Amino acid sequence: MAKVEIYTKIFCGYCVRAKRLLDTKGLAYDEYDISMGGPKRAEMLQRAPGRTTVPQIFINDRHVGGCDDLLELERNGRLDPLLTAE
């Protein structure tokens, strides 16, 4: 199973949508709440240069982008192969 990580903030509708998609696929994921900033926010900024919005999603340490990017992968049938790759 793929390692999925998602950086989120409270009250973020895009974060909710992205997590809902991951949940429908029965995936476990590590969620990092960066609402208050801190080291996890700095980590996200380093891992996803130039991206300051949430969510930011990583699959097997590969940055796939935000919610719209995740949904696009799903629409194009490219998400499931990423999730089954090791």
pLDDT in tens, 20-49: 999 999 999 999 999 999 999 999 999 999
- Per DSSP bridges, beta strands 4-8 and 30-33 are parallel
Q: Rounded to an integer, what distance in angstroms lies between the CA atom of residue 1 and that of residue 15? A: 22
Domain 4-84 fold is: Glutaredoxin (3.40.30)
> 38: which residues sit within 8 A by CB, 6+ positions away?
none
Lowest mean pLDDT among 26-30, 44-48, 53-57, 82-86: 82-86
* Cis peptide preceding 49, ω within 30 of 0: no
Query: Quick one: tokens of 1?
Result: 């199973």
Q: For the purposes of burial, counting CB atoms within 10 Å of the CB of 46, is it exposed (0-12), middle (13-18) or buried (19 or more)?
A: exposed
pTM of the model: 0.95
**Residues facing 33 on adjacent strands:** 8
